[in-house]
Every structure is written in C-alpha cells, then in structure tokens.
Amino acid sequence: RNGFAMPKRIVFFFRTVFNKRDYIRFGFDIIRSRGYAVEAWDFSPVLRANYYRNYTPPDPVDFDGHKLYTHRKQIVDAVSGLSNEDIVVCFVGLDRDSAFIYKLLEKNNIPFGFCLLGLLPQINTHQRIIKRLYILLPNPVVSLRNMLVRLRLGMLAWMGRSQRTTSPHFMMIGGGAAKKDSRCSALDPAKVIKAHALDYDRYLEEEKLAHLNEGAAVRGYALFLDEDVPFHPDYLHSDTSPYCTADKYYGELNKFFDSFERATGLSIIVAAHPRADYKKRGNPYGNRELVFGKTIYFTKYAELILAHASTSLNFAILYKKPVIFMDSLEYSMRFRQGIHNAASAFGQKLLIVSEEHIFQLRDLSVNNDLYERYKNSYIKELGTPDKMCWDIFCDYVDELN
C-alpha cells in the first residue's frame, strides 16, 4: 500500500561504533524473533574517522549482521545494493558528510526513517536567552569559546538540513515532544509509529523481575547518575572539547559528595555511564561503589537521585524519585544549559557543587503533575502500547506485509 515490496530485512545505519549495548537497546534479538533479518551498518570510519580511530567501546559485540565500512565507495556500493524489500532505520544525522547516503536512498526509492526515542527537555527562546546570560557572566572567556563551537556546529547542521530533498517514509517517536519535529509533523499520521523512549523497555524488563528483586534490594543510599563528563566519546564524535576537565570535575564533585554524605547519613552509589571504561581508568569517585548496567534497578530503590542532565533521569520519573540537580561554574555553557533545562522540567532548583550547602532531605519532594507531564512529553504518551519498543516497530512492519 506504500508502493514497496514486503519487507524482509531491517538495516540500521550508524555512525557510531556498534557495540553490545546497541545490539540490546535496538532490539536485534526481538526483530530476529519476529522473522526479519537484521543488520547493523557502521559508517563511523568514513563519517567520523577521528572518533573511530580513537575510541574503543568497553563492550564490543560479535554479531554476523555487523558490517563495517571503511571507504566511501563501500558505502555507495552497499546502499546502492539495497532494494525496496529492505527497510532502513537511520541513526545517521543528515549533514554535509552524510548527504550522499540520503540521495542514494531517495534515488533508489528505499524506505527509510528516523527514531526520536528519548528527547531531552528544551526551554523557550526567551527563557534560553535569560539563562545563557546568567551562565555566561561568571565565566565569560570559557563561555564565549563554547558559544563559537556551538555556532560552528549549528552552521554545519544547517548546511546539512538545507540539502534535504524529501521526507522519511516513517518516524518512530517516544513522547509528545517528538511530534513537534518538522520531519514528524510533515508525515501522514499513519507513518508515525508511536512508541516510547528506549529507557521504557528497561522499565518493562525491571517490572517483570520486581518479585525477585524486592527482597534483595539495598536500601538507604543516594544514586548519582554518572555521565562520564570529562571523557565521553561524544566529544570525539562531534569534535568538541569536554564540558569540564577531569581534575576540576572530580575534585569538585567528590568534595560535594563528602559533604552530602556527612550531612545526610546516606552513602552515594555511582551508576556508571555505559560508555565509561572505568576498568581501564580506575574509579574516579574514591571508595564509592560503582555499579554497571543496573541504573534502573538502583534508581528504583534509591532514596533520591543526584544528577546533571542524564537521559537516565527517565527512571527517576518512572519511579517518582526526588532529584538534586548539580551545576558548576566550571562546566561549559552548553552543559549548564542542559542541566538548567532538566531542572526546570522537574520543578527543581540547582545546587552549585562548589558552594556550601545545608541539606534538608525532608524538603525534597516530587511534583506529581510535572513528573506526569515529563513522562508524557519525553518518555511515553498516555495510551501508547505497553510493550517493547521494537515489538511496536515490528507490528508496523507486519502491517506493511
């Protein structure tokens, strides 16, 4: 009915190094169990060469459907070899480097689409100007440098968008905020697949195991959502500077954590960012416990959450946990803006980690209305299917068949 043959293969386009985490969160086992062949095409050696050369994921994966392309001609040949029996799921943004890929997809009439599964809060233009001025004043030199970096990236993104000639054939979205994306609003509603943020899959899995975890759960701690701020591989991917140097970041944060633990009697557990390789670098948080791959579990049983602007705040929303948002004058303007946006969406004030604080845990609260609004906007709209995200996608592909 869409002018395509019956889909038989689902091909994911990436410009990040494919790894075990991607295999799981993009539902490759689910897709295969639904009867479709699935492949991961990794274009990072061509589209993000410096990132590819300098980054090794801590969780490499051995998957026969993983195809690595090291030269532009290989990409051209592979994309040209697709047929309309294939469906392409694009995690490659449209810019001047990747425009040739989309031209090939359009030329050969290959069905492709994008996913918006876990957007972060944004504020309106007036609020953004006020907050940026507030952030800029304490550290104008650092902030001006970061403004110039953002201007360059914005120009590159605009150049990419200006080359766009067609709309995707589908969009899979999570939360109402995604519907405001121009690609989504221009589509026939029948081609908008209403799913949810990928974190909601982890929530569904956790709730299935709730009867096993409840009795063994650790209690009486606060959980910090680590973002690997000084070393995140996204800096290599986007060719930008870290949001903060390691010495300043961990120095300030550990001092803040010491003060917090003394004042509250709560120990702090650190939920390690999945891209951080602490086995190689060591634990930068002193003697504090680092946990890996169990962020939702430890969020569920925490007394409260300490965070900057991690996407794992979705778990705090789902389990209605109070959050302390931590800012610093040492952080880049871009990072601070993200923290301000997240705190505003939660209805919480910020703490500057370098300042002295009096912690009154009894003053922490959850604004149920704001939490529900956040869930509907950024995680899962009311009435969307309560099933795994990639099952929802396969339901859509089944309908095409």
Least Cα distance to 394 among 38, 19, 20, 14 occurs for: 38
pLDDT for 102-119, tens place per residue? 999 999 999 999 999 989
Give the contacts of 334 (CB within 8 A, at least 6 positions apart). 146, 149, 150, 243
* Residue 45 or residue 147, greater confidence: 45
Residue 379 reports pLDDT greater than 90: yes
Is residue 46 pLDDT above 80, yes or no?
A: yes
Structure tokens at 172: 């899979």
Where is average pLDDT lowest: 6-15, 120-129, 191-200? Answer: 120-129
Task: Write down the pLDDT at residue 386.
Answer: 95
pLDDT digits (tens, 9 = 90+) for 168-212: 999 999 999 999 988 888 889 999 999 999 999 999 999 998 777
Give the helix ranges, DSSP H, for 214-294: 234-238, 246-264, 278-281
What value does the mean pLDDT take over residues 74-80?
Answer: 98
Whether the per-residue pLDDT at 143 is higher than 70: the answer is no
Band of residue 160 on the pLDDT scale cut at 50, 70, 90 = very low
User: Per-residue pLDDT tens for 268-293?
Assistant: 999 999 989 898 899 999 999 999 99
pLDDT at 104: 96
pLDDT at 146 over 60: no
pLDDT at 13 over 70: yes
Give the residues across from 37 on adjacent strands.
Answer: 9
| Angstrom distance (rounded) from CA 43 to CA 75 | 7
CA 180 to CA 131: how far, in whole Å?
A: 23
Distances (CA, A) of 141 to 144, 145, 380: 5, 6, 40
pLDDT at 357: 83
Q: How does pLDDT run across 363-375, given as a tens digit for each residue?
A: 788 999 999 999 9
